[in-house]
Amino acid sequence: MLRGLHYQIRQPQGKLIRVMAGEVFDVAVDIRRSSPTFGKWTSTMLSAGNKKMLWVPPGFAHGFLVTSDHAEVQYKTTDYWAPQHERCILWNDRDLAISWPIKGEPVLSQKDRAGLAFKQAEVFP
């Protein structure tokens, strides 16, 4: 299962992410147009075994790929979920060129299949 690159354009959330069971390949993309790292991404493997956590600041899109048979992901956020402000960037956007460790087509939600290209996405100033 792959969860696409989600963010909230209003009420942006900072997220502290950890994996309680299993393993995920976790990705954060800087979508702050004024940032010198705009459009750049970083990734890390999070697992119950390595006990790592990832801080995704407000102004970043976030997604992950489950790389184990099962995973439980836990978030702590700086603001409430506001579905009316949620946006999604395509997980496989060519301009971002994220190196997902995947073979074949991932399992995606309808929301993730309908994500926008990075060039067309609403981003932060």
Query: What's the predicted TM-score (pTM) here?
Result: 0.95
Q: What CATH number did the domain enclosing 47 receive?
A: 2.60.120.10
Q: According to DSSP H, which parts of 5-118 are helical?
A: 110-113
Residue 104 has pLDDT above 90, yes or no: no
Residue 50 maps to a domain: yes
Residue 4 in 3-state DSSP? strand
Residue 125 lies in a domain: no
Structural domains counted in the chain: 1
Domain hosting 77: range is 2-113
Q: For residue 58, what pLDDT is reported?
A: 98
Phi/psi of residue 3, nearest 5 degrees? -105, 120
Cα torsion through 104, 110, 116, 117, rounded to 10:
0
Identify the helix (H) or strand (E) that includes residue 16: strand 15-21
pLDDT mean over 1-10:
96
* Residue 25 domain-assigned (yes or no): yes
Q: Which of these is catalytic: 7, 62, 70, 75?
A: 75
Mean pLDDT of the chain: 97
Q: Is residue 78 part of a domain?
A: yes
Q: Is residue 121 part of a domain?
A: no
In a domain, 47, yes or no: yes
Is 75 one of the annotated active-site residues of the chain? Answer: yes
Distance CA 32, CA 7 (A): 12
User: Alpha carbon 19 to chain centroid distance?
Assistant: 14
- Domain-embedded: residue 109: yes
Please check whether residue 122 lies inside any domain of the structure: no
Q: Is 7 a catalytic residue?
A: no
- At residue 36, the pLDDT reads 98
